Amino acid sequence: MSTETISASALRAFVKALFVKQGATDADALVIADSLVGADLEGVSSHGVMLLPMYVDRVKAGSMRLSASAEIVDDLGGLVVMTANHAPGQVSAQAAVGIAIERARVHGMATVTVREAGHFGAGAYWARQMAAQGMVGMAFSNTRPLMPAPGGAKPLVGNNPLCMAFPSQQGLPVIVDMAMSASAMGKIRMADIKGESIPLGWATDASGKDTQSPAEAIKGMLLPAAGPKGFGLAVAIELLCGALSGGGIASQVKPLFGDPAEPYNCAHTFIAIDASRLNGGRGIGQQVDNLANVIRHSEKAPGIERVYAPGDLERSRRAQHNDQCCLSADLVTRLRELAQANDVAFVF
């Protein structure tokens, strides 16, 4: 499959201009752009600019409200509940993370949960912001039902991602970012765009039969990572987000690529722990670095050149990309069409 290399800076400017054209403020458009392009730079293309056509469809249909902003509806000091009012997920997440950091400085830790929210991109983008402030940062989200219970044949809960970022003294935070399915739906959509098959064990077709066809998987179900363990964690995150916020749970969260006029209605939870105040004010950065270095320098299996600590691979990809995003030619064509339809310059 052919690809095209595009400057990340230019791509970020294009995404920002596209959302400003739809009515977003410069600040809101920039955080959306930075989130999406950052995912492409780190090789997480399932959460990158491939989402733009869907986002714009939702804006035009009214389910993603660029004029909306997040509001606090319950304030218990170290526990805050917000409504996103169906603003873009990145916009409400930025507000929630800011409050989580501010309140954790006061209370030692803080939880901010958000209902009536939209897709917020890659969880690492938010957890990393908290780690940069010396905090353990956690970001969770629920999604529409995608996974069956072990032995079941009906999707009941989403693949519900979690991300945890631990601050590092060396500036290399340990970041664990994953969904509870064997693979994210975004990766399956990317395989469909590229005309590639998917591995067995990722998903089933609509009847519950294991499939290697991304098109059938999109109409079917994702399989939980590690079977009942992944499903159990997905249920826990479902409640941590949906129940804690008083927001959508299970089928109340709608398909992201479904009816663009119907709000996505997911929920998010962000947790910040002010680790900088621990260990006599030294924080936990040294311990984080010690464990990460043990992992990096551990004995390698035959044929393996490097062992990565969690978060290293994404940083390595970003460094190797050198401010360049490698996109499929099909996706670039779709972006050009999107630009033309919205009278936004796309010159790369």
pLDDT in tens, 10-45: 999 999 999 999 999 999 999 999 999 999 999 999
pTM value? 0.94
pLDDT at 144: 95
> Which CATH architecture is the domain 186-223 placed in?
2-Layer Sandwich (3.30)
Q: Whose structure tokens read 């460094």? A: 319
Asked if residue 323 lies in contact with residue 9, where contact means CB atoms within 8 angstroms, the answer is yes
Label residue 141 by pLDDT band (50, 70, 90): very high
Nearest to 122 by CA among 48, 50, 30, 29: 48
**CA atoms of 164 and 22, how far apart (whole Å):** 33
Tell me what percent of the residues of the chain surpass a pLDDT of 70: 100
pLDDT at 33: 98
pLDDT at 189: 86
Residue 82: what are its φ and ψ, rounded to 5°?
Answer: -125, 160
> In Å, what is the CA distance from 81 to each residue of 76, 159, 269?
9, 23, 9
Label residue 184 by pLDDT band (50, 70, 90): confident
pLDDT at 190: 82
Among the ranges given (90-104, 198-212, 244-258), the one the predictor scored with the smallest mean pLDDT:
198-212
- State yes or no: pLDDT of 269 exceeds 70: yes
The H or E element spanning position 5 is strand 3-7
Yes or no: domain 3-181+224-281+314-341 corresponds to CATH 3.30.1370.60: yes
Strands 109-117 and 79-83: parallel
pLDDT at 193: 82
Asked if residue 63 lies in contact with residue 260, where contact means CB atoms within 8 angstroms, the answer is yes
Give the HSE-up count for residue 287: Cα atoms under 13 Å, Cβ half-sphere. Answer: 10
Asked if residue 134 lies in contact with residue 104, where contact means CB atoms within 8 angstroms, the answer is no
- State yes or no: pLDDT of 247 exceeds 70: yes
DSSP result, 55-92: HHHHHHHTSS-TT---EEEEE-SSEEEEE-TT--HHHH
Label residue 261 by pLDDT band (50, 70, 90): very high
**CA atoms of 87 and 195, how far apart (whole Å):** 33
pLDDT tens for each residue of 206-244 = 888 899 999 999 999 999 999 999 999 999 999 999 999
Strands 203-204 and 210-211: antiparallel
Question: According to CATH, where is 3.30.1370.60 located in the chain?
Answer: 3-181+224-281+314-341
Asked if residue 235 lies in contact with residue 257, where contact means CB atoms within 8 angstroms, the answer is no
pLDDT at 151: 84
- State yes or no: pLDDT of 153 exceeds 90: no
- State yes or no: pLDDT of 202 exceeds 90: yes
Asked if residue 219 lies in contact with residue 74, where contact means CB atoms within 8 angstroms, the answer is no
pLDDT at 185: 81
Label residue 1 by pLDDT band (50, 70, 90): low
Q: Mean pLDDT across the stretch 274-280? A: 95
Helix (H, G, I), strand (E, B) or coil at 53: helix
Label residue 2 by pLDDT band (50, 70, 90): confident
**CA atoms of 121 and 321, how far apart (whole Å):** 20
- State yes or no: pLDDT of 187 exceeds 90: no
Among the ranges given (22-26, 184-188, 336-340), the one the predictor scored with the smallest mean pLDDT:
184-188
